[in-house]
Amino acid sequence: MRSIKEPVVWTNLLFFVNAFAWWAVGFPNTAILICLTSIASFMYHILSEREPISKGVDVFFAYLALVWTVYVSLKTISVLELLSVCLVLAVGLWFKSYAHRTTYENMHTIGHLFVFVGQLLLAKSCFKV
């Protein structure tokens, strides 16, 4: 079991900031989905990435949150904002995929930070509504 002090664990708590951002721009259901995603990822990492069920739940909620938040944002996002989010997402996914070939904790933590920034950008794009 990992410690809450490990960055790969505590960075999941940043996603609650994302949830608050979605709530603040008027999307409470999206905020709840982001909270569930944060909890799923936290549980997966606190259990040292060893439980296949927690991995499945984590991956399911991560993809669901990504697809849903992009879908919701498409109504208001500008082309420049969408390109920025795609760039942030691409870099974050690169770090997460590279994590399995190097220092997992560091690279995966960086991936979490890029997801955090990407979700803030998506929520910000909905502020116009």
What secondary structure does DSSP assign to 52-103, as a single string?
HHHHHHHHHHHHHHHHHHHHHHTTT--HHHHHHHHHHHHHHHHHHHHGGGS-
Residue 99 — pLDDT band, cuts 50, 70, 90? confident
The pLDDT score that the predictor gives to residue 98 is: 83
Least confident window among 14-18, 37-41, 80-84, 98-102 = 98-102
Give residue limits of the domains in the chain: 7-128
Render pLDDT for 4-36 as a digit per residue (tens, 0 to 9).
999 999 999 999 999 999 999 999 999 999 999
Alpha carbons 56 and 24: distance in angstroms, whole number: 29
Closest CA to 93 of 78, 108, 75, 72: 108
Specify the pTM: 0.91
Q: If 0-12 CB within 10 Å is exposed, 13-18 middle and 19+ buried, where does residue 18 land?
A: buried
